[in-house]
Amino acid sequence: MKVLHVAAEVFPLIKTGGLADVVAALPVALAHQGADVRLLLPGMPAVMEAVQHARLVIDIGNCFGALRVRLLLARMPGSALPVYVVDAPYLYRRAGGPYQDRQGEEWPDNLQRFALLGWVAAHLAGGDADLQWQPEVVHAHDWHAAMACAFIADHAGTEATSIFTIHNLAFQGLFPLHDWPLLGLASRLMSPAGLEFHGQLSFMKAGLKFADRVTTVSPTYAREIATAEFGFGLDGVIQARGADVGGILNGIDDVLWDPARDSAIAAAYDTQNLQGKLACRHALQAELGLQGDDDALLLTVVSRLTGQKGLDLLVAALPELLAQGVQVAVQGSGEPALEAAFHMAQQLHAGRVHVHLGYDEARAHRLIAGADAIVVPSRFEPCGLTQMYGLRYGTLPIVRRVGGLADTVTDEPDAGGEDTRSTGFVFDAAEPAALAQAVLRALRLRRESPVQWQARMQRAMALRLGWAGPARQYLSLYETALAKRRTVGAPVH
């Protein structure tokens, strides 16, 4: 099966969140199971500099406001995975982030930048971009790639099936309705039944309306987005797709994230030998200038510092937690008010709180390996990866019962009332008191029942969290969607 994954970012070349990790890992897992997989990426500077053995596939010319557009075929660095790159210097080669400039403002031509990405994907699917390879499945990730589904739907001759995965419904790719002519689509798509969304154009809606199948990155999130609370105004569109919407839980790279083989941490360890975990804890306390307090619960945060992630709840709960003997190590960046609040906490509680504003991959490994618990108190969470990294490292997650957090962390007794299933600590209300209660439950268990704490660690570390299982689910989904398309043709939404 020939599968094209379309995305705006991929680890380690461009990463703003978990999307990049998924796009790096899922295609490789699919290839390991026999699929013929390729990526399609925009030619951002980091991509152009890193891909290897690039050759010209087709000189596209003038489109979407760029005078010179080419399609290249290369290899991902250090990998045999083929990657198409849309080389459009006028649109992609600029300083700043993939979606925003250095001041955090959205690029004003994002509509053209990401419409071009979807348009090229549709032409690969249509068979006239690369005469040597034509995908049977186009898998578009998040709003940046969603226009691929609309362009495919607008071309009756395309036989490929389209899959659209929502990684975070909160980011929708909204643009002024008067920019419609820049897309070059049929006028029938410019309506509430198409891309129009409350007087704007919605790239997210393009994926929701025109993909043959829609997935999210966890089963619980798939159910949540069909409700007004989590649907961000698109719950009606999602409800209308019915059984075409489902959730497949993300995996993690269980080779990159493996405490038994991780060169970034102070000492290796596994379920049978946990002494290295204690060495990592002591090393982290020394590195961060935290008190060498073996009785403390060392809690870490590795996250964007935003209200969505619920980190204002942690800020509000900090005084009580620190007074009870919790230490906190934070890495992340985001909303200025949250950054300032954590920085102030570090100043007021030297030796109990450490904050690193920014992201460092090796530091993230040390934080997760050295902490006792990792807190993810999100208001909504499509999947979440850091709680799975925590599980893998025996760093027990403390999470709110939403989305993928609910699907990955267990905090309940078995049928006989015994604690033989729990792998972390779960709370429900998005309130500081509820978070504090969960953290203090963890603190008490670690202090009073070290045998039970270790059992939770070992259960967490024994979970199968890799990509092999999700890849099999995606292949089954591709086969079902492709068979239906070949039988009944493209659906009309």
Q: Is residue 194 within 8 Å of residue 223, measured between CB atoms?
A: no
Per-residue pLDDT of 224-263, as tens digits, reads 999 999 999 999 999 999 999 999 999 998 998 999 999 9
Q: Give the whole-number percent of the chain exceeding pLDDT 90.
A: 89
Question: Taking all residues of the chain, what is their mean pLDDT, rounded to a whole number?
Answer: 95
Band the pLDDT of 366: cuts 50, 70, 90. very high
Average pLDDT over residues 445-454: 96
pLDDT-derived band at 491, boundaries 50, 70, 90: low
Q: How far apart are CA 365 and CA 287, in angstroms?
A: 13
Q: What would the pLDDT profile of 67-120 be if each residue is shown by its tens digit?
A: 999 999 999 998 899 999 999 999 999 988 999 988 889 999 999 999 999 999
Q: Is the pLDDT of residue 478 over 80?
A: yes
Helix (H, G, I), strand (E, B) or coil at 298: strand
Q: Give me the residues paired with residue 328 across strands.
A: 299, 353
pLDDT at 486: 78
Residues of the chain above pLDDT 70, percent:
99
Is residue 493's pLDDT more than 70?
no
Planar angle of CA 218, 222, 228, nearest 5 degrees: 135
pLDDT digits (tens, 9 = 90+) for 156-175: 889 999 999 999 999 999 99
Q: Is the dihedral of CA 374, 441, 221, 413 positive or negative?
A: positive
Please state the rounded mean pLDDT for residues 179-192.
91
| pLDDT at residue 490, as a whole number | 57
Q: Which domains does the chain have, with CATH numbers?
A: 2-251+468-488 (3.40.50.2000), 275-462 (3.40.50.2000)
Tell me, what's the pLDDT at 489? 63
Q: Which residues contact 415 (CB under 8 A, 6 or more apart)?
A: none
Condensed to tens digits (0 to 9), the pLDDT of residues 11-51 reads 999 998 889 999 999 999 999 999 999 999 999 999 999 99
The model scores a pTM over 0.85: yes
Retrieve residue 273's tokens.
Answer: 């030998």
- Could you give the C-alpha distances from 168 to 141, 173, 377, 492, in angstroms and in order? 10, 11, 16, 25
C-beta of residue 19 within 8 angstroms of C-beta of residue 30: no
pLDDT value at 326 more than 80: yes
User: Which tens digits make up the pLDDT trace of 284-323?
Assistant: 999 999 999 999 999 999 999 999 999 999 999 999 999 9
Mean pLDDT of the 342-360 span: 95
Distance of alpha carbon 320 from the chain centroid: 32
Closest CA to 216 of 202, 204, 228, 200: 204
- Give residue for tokens 């729990």: 422
Q: What local confidence, expressed as pLDDT, does residue 18 receive? A: 85
**Nearest CA to 44 among 119, 100, 94, 107?**
94
Residue 16's pLDDT is: 86
User: At which residue do the structure tokens 């080419």 appear?
Assistant: 70
